[in-house]
Amino acid sequence: MTGRPTGSRADPNGVVTASTARWIDIGVNLTHARFDADRDQVIARARASHVVHLIVTACHAAGTAGGYALIERFPGLVSVTAGIHPHEASRVEPADWELITTYARKPGVVAIGECGLDYFRHFSDPKDQRTAFEKQLTLAHECGKPLFLHERDAHADFLAILRAFGKARLKGVLHCFTGTRDQLEHYLDLGLWIGLTGWIADERRGRHLPDLLPAIPLNRLLLETDAPYLLPRTLTPKPHSGRNEPAFLPHIGSLIAGHLHMPTEALARIVCDNTVACFGLDLPAPPSHPGHHTWVATP
């Protein structure tokens, strides 16, 4: 596919830059201790980079409550998830479930998770992981909220649980997709959105991902940094800390737009619309500008 609107600018690599692009980071671990010293500056840098909204990922009860406090501190800029990461599944107490269930129904909590299965590191017993996962599928359905899904080295069990729950009751995003073409097709068949991170910039582990990009329908694509993890390896200059930040989301976006041979601004607009559709976000309308146009792919 190619297509380029009039008035866009391309750098020598063919990446079209557009200062009017707006981005939403659907997965940022903003309550992580690595942001404790400068959380306000991290958010200010994200805004300066046209990242207009952040969905803060929760991994446990305390993270859910901590994320929610950020909504009050940065109104309109932050939404959060509520949930239990598979790593935490063996440690979760009844009081944690009560808290998650209460937060799940609050406005500003836009998804349940991150939840799923992770057999890569056995921080929690697989049986406990499956129980916690199934509980959160039910919770999401009861609250009418989408799922923020995590899967690593557990595809067969993960898929079996999702299929048993039923496609008709499922809505959500498979976050940080790094899998195979078959796995991608399974997720798309279930109607899930696909979250991509800076993993795509990893010439070792993510080498297969650019080839899979055209297989993801554009209306199913979402973007995330997963900060502070997964600093894109192509970023220059790299921060000395090695820490990823939501301000680097446009870098991931333009990289993906480059792979898809489409203008960065057009990709940003599509992904923004997808994010609103997936999470039911209520964002202010973008400022109109002379360069606003509809991008059409030509064969």
150 binding Zn ion? (CB under 5 A)? yes
In this structure, are residues 31 and 70 in contact, taking their beta carbons and an 8 Å threshold? yes
Residue 150 or 251: which CB sits closer to Zn ion? 150
Please tell me the distance from the alpha carbon of residue 226 to that of residue 217, in angstroms, as a whole number: 22
Helix axes 61-73, 94-104, angle to 10 degrees: 30
In this structure, are residues 153 and 122 in contact, taking their beta carbons and an 8 Å threshold? no
Least distance in angstroms from the C-beta of 176 to Zn ion: 5
Least distance in angstroms from the C-beta of 212 to Zn ion: 19
In this structure, are residues 226 and 178 in contact, taking their beta carbons and an 8 Å threshold? no
Q: Is 223 exposed, middle or buried (0-12, 13-18, 19+ CB in 10 A)?
A: buried
Residues 113-142 that bind Zn ion (CB under 5 A): 114
Least distance in angstroms from the C-beta of 27 to Zn ion: 7
Residue in the block written with tokens 């041979």: 261
Please tell me the distance from the alpha carbon of residue 202 to that of residue 225, in angstroms, as a whole number: 13
Span interacting with Zn ion, options 94-102, 148-156, 194-202, 245-253, rule CB under 5 A: 148-156
Q: Is 260 exposed, middle or buried (0-12, 13-18, 19+ CB in 10 A)?
A: buried
String of contacts with Zn ion for each residue 95-114, x by CB under 5 A: -------------------x
87 binding Zn ion? (CB under 5 A)? no
Write out the two tokens for 48: 């300066």
Least distance in angstroms from the C-beta of 101 to Zn ion: 21
Least distance in angstroms from the C-beta of 150 to Zn ion: 4
Residue 25 or 114: which CB sits closer to Zn ion? 114
String of contacts with Zn ion for each residue 30-59, x by CB under 5 A: ------------------------------
Span interacting with Zn ion, options 13-21, 97-105, 127-135, 143-151, rule CB under 5 A: 143-151
Binding site residues, Zn ion, CB under 5 A: 114, 150
